Amino acid sequence: MLTPQQMLRITIEIIFVLLGGLVVWLGLSEHILFDRRKPGWLVLSAALIVWGVRALYKPGQWWSRKEQWTRGLSLTLLGVVMLAISRVPFPWVGRLLTFAGVLLMLRGLVSTVLILRPR
């Protein structure tokens, strides 16, 4: 039986999978309805990088170390991809959005497996 804490964490990871699916769909359909050169985009990508690096080096319980690494690495990579989206030529934006979505989906799936594994 799952504890309420595990159910909440799994629900959050399912949200990441769904968000990743939406971003993949946007990347594949090339419905790019945002200005990737605005300062807000750069601030968000920098915040994701800082948040991810902070998650990598945050001390925690020994049993959740793999979960923290998964979260930290995925957020850092997502921030780097978003930073790259602001600098690449426009035809590459859809591919990078698709990659970002796959990254979010993988984060959700891997974290769910790590949460459900027996201790």
pTM, two decimals, is 0.85
Averaged over 1-25, what is the pLDDT?
Answer: 92
The tokens for 74 are: 């995925």
Q: What is the pLDDT of residue 63?
A: 59
Q: What is the pLDDT of residue 60?
A: 67
> How many domains in the chain?
1
Averaged over 99-115, what is the pLDDT?
Answer: 93
Q: Is the pLDDT of residue 84 over 70?
A: yes
Task: Report pLDDT digits (tens) over 19-74.
Answer: 999 999 999 998 777 778 889 989 999 999 999 999 888 766 665 778 888 889 99
Q: Beta-carbon neighbour count of residue 54 at 10 Å?
A: 12
Cα 52-55-61 angle, rounded to 5 deg: 160
Instruction: Provide the domain limits for residue 89.
Output: 4-116
The tokens for 31 are: 């419905």
Residue 111's Cβ-count burial label (10 Å; 0-12, 13-18, 19+) is buried
